[in-house]
Chain A
Amino acid sequence: MEFSRRDFMKLVGVSVASLALTRCRVSLPVSCYAPLPPPTPVLSDRDRLRNCWLRFGELASTTGSAYEQGEALRRQLSAEHRTLLDGFVQNWELNEAEANLVQEAYDAALYHVWRSNAPITCYEPVMVDYAPVSAQILVQQAQVLDELSGQGGIDPATLEAARAAIEHDLAFYALSDDEVNQLYERILAEWQSQGGATPAFEQIELEVTPDARHATEFILSLFTQR
């Protein structure tokens, strides 16, 4: 499968945004007593760039309540981020190609957050999410389907297929770790039986170009403050 540097960076950006939005971030040490507000810090360019990456929550809430304002904020954040990155290029901390990749990641993250929270409109109704809905929802769906089937209006074959679809999705949540591993083993065995040899992990090409690697490390350093 072809996987370009730009695609890679987009995935990095979306992944980082998702983690940031779930508050999976390196937290600063806190104490029980914080009686005085800390003095207003002088922000470095790195701090300001980090702040750009910490504003996804704001983008999500703004977009959710006012689509146009969310769009304006997305553009503003993208422009701010680009301007700050240019400073890093001038200071030789990043080269131009690396800065472009960091920007690519950031823009992809902004788009992901914006699109996920934008009010749905006529012909772009919902974001596609390939994961099954939660197990709780699936159980509720099964209950409602049972109630509807008792009313007798729906074609029995269609009802069976609908039940199968729910069970199909539920199966995802019912698997233990061992079962997941067994599933992978079975899939691999099936794949090998069709003539495909499984490569050893070391043989798998996971090549990331030096500039993409550096751009990714740079983004992560913003969060880890290293």
Chain B
Amino acid sequence: MTSRPRIASLIFEVTQRCNHACLHCYNVWQGPQPAGRPYPRGEFDTARTLSLLAKALDECDCPHVTLTGGEPLLRPDLERILDFLQERKVRVTLISNGRLLDDRRVAALVGRGAALFELPLLSHRREMHDELSAAPGAWDAVLKAMTAVRLARGQVVAAFVLTRRNAADLAEALRLAFAFGARGVMINRFNPGGRGRDHLEELLPSVAQVREALATAESASAEYRLPISCSIPIQPCLIDTAAYPHIGFGYCAAGSERAYYALDPLGNLRPCNHSDLILGNLFANSFAELISPEKLSAFTCALPAHCSACERRLECQGGCKAAAQVCSGSLSAEEPFLRQALPAA
């Protein structure tokens, strides 16, 4: 009998459909696909979806599920999925672009235990947010959604995707997030993947831009007492993260209890939602089998050659291996943010 692994969180991609077309989108089914093996597309009906979730939660000890997509609110049975998770006493975070979060829907979701909403706020300027979302009206919609969540006693964490184009907007965007009651902000440097690969040159921030953004965030975090995190890894050889004590920094957690495995709508499990590496299908294997060290070792042991002598390689792991894989075809390649900072070979 296999043991029941313990994980801090599970990401469930409830649908691959989306009503926005963000330039920076990392969804692995978007953008260029490997010839002959595109990422599987589709989703189950409600009953099969719930049986997939039930199997996942039966087979691992997991107190927290993040519902994402695509845009999860495009699933008409989202409330049913939340009912199920509430019955299982699982805490829920919902990642949405906010477009469909009107007062009625927010009340229904908060009432079903979706207490935390992660919503994008890409700029204080309507034009910039809408352009990056490739969706006119996105900015107005997300501000409305933030307010609706707050009035319903839910909580919002704003996600600012730091790109070359909106880096200069960070300070004002943080101010806006604070004024609209965000309880925290995630500043994630653009991490190429999915559709984002088509916009690499246009969006990938320089090291100097990220450094400047961190200084802005450090100051805003102190001024507004606003928790700010950078969860997409920032390599300490490029930027001394210790210089920003108010900001939380995350590194790849794959293989550890902190890992946030991603389960797609068809039951395929991946090391994280940025990775296109399918460990297997949960209907065909147990959770423990899929995340066994043998299955994960290719992912967890990969390290760019550049990092092999670094003292902090075990912590940093070279940055985001998923980005390295989807951009270069190799988990051990330098991911684009690191590669741009290295001297040309």
Binding site for B on A (CB under 8 A): 67-68, 71, 119-126, 128-130, 133, 137, 140-141, 144-145, 148, 153-155, 158, 161-162, 164-166, 168-169
Contacts and interface: CB of A to CB of B under 8 A. Distances in A.
B151 A141 contact: no
Interface in B229-256: 229, 231-232, 248-250, 253, 256
B143 A126 contact: no
Given A120-B186, A123-B118, A161-B148, 4 more contacts: A119-B248, A122-B231, A162-B147, A166-B181
A119 B143 contact: no
Interface string B260-284: 1000000000001100000000000
Contact of B9 (A67, A123, A140, A141): A123
A168 B175 CA distance: 20
A140 B256 CA distance: 40
B255 to A, nearest CB: 12
A123 B11 contact: yes
Nearest to B315: A68
B116 A126 contact: yes
B157 A125 contact: yes
A162 B176 CA distance: 11
A27 B315 CA distance: 41
Contacts of B253: 121-122
A140 B260 contact: no
Nearest to B172: A148
Interface of B is mostly: mixed
Contacts of A140: 178, 224
B327 interface: no
A185 B111 CA distance: 24
Interface residues of B, number: 52
B277 to A, nearest CB: 17
Contacts of A128: 91, 115-116, 155
A199 B229 CA distance: 47
A135 to B, nearest CB: 13
A126 B183 contact: yes
Nearest to B151: A165
B183 A148 contact: no
Contacts of A164: 151
Interface in B175-222: 175-176, 178-181, 183-184, 186, 188
Nearest to B188: A122
Contacts of A121: 8, 229, 231, 250, 253, 258, 260
Nearest to B10: A123
A130 B154 CA distance: 8
B147 A120 contact: no
B257 A120 contact: no
A125 B116 contact: yes
Nearest to B144: A158
Nearest to B233: A122
> What are the nearest 6 A-B pairs in CB distance?
A122-B231, A145-B179, A144-B179, A126-B184, A161-B147, A165-B150
A125 B143 contact: no
Contacts of B140: 155, 158
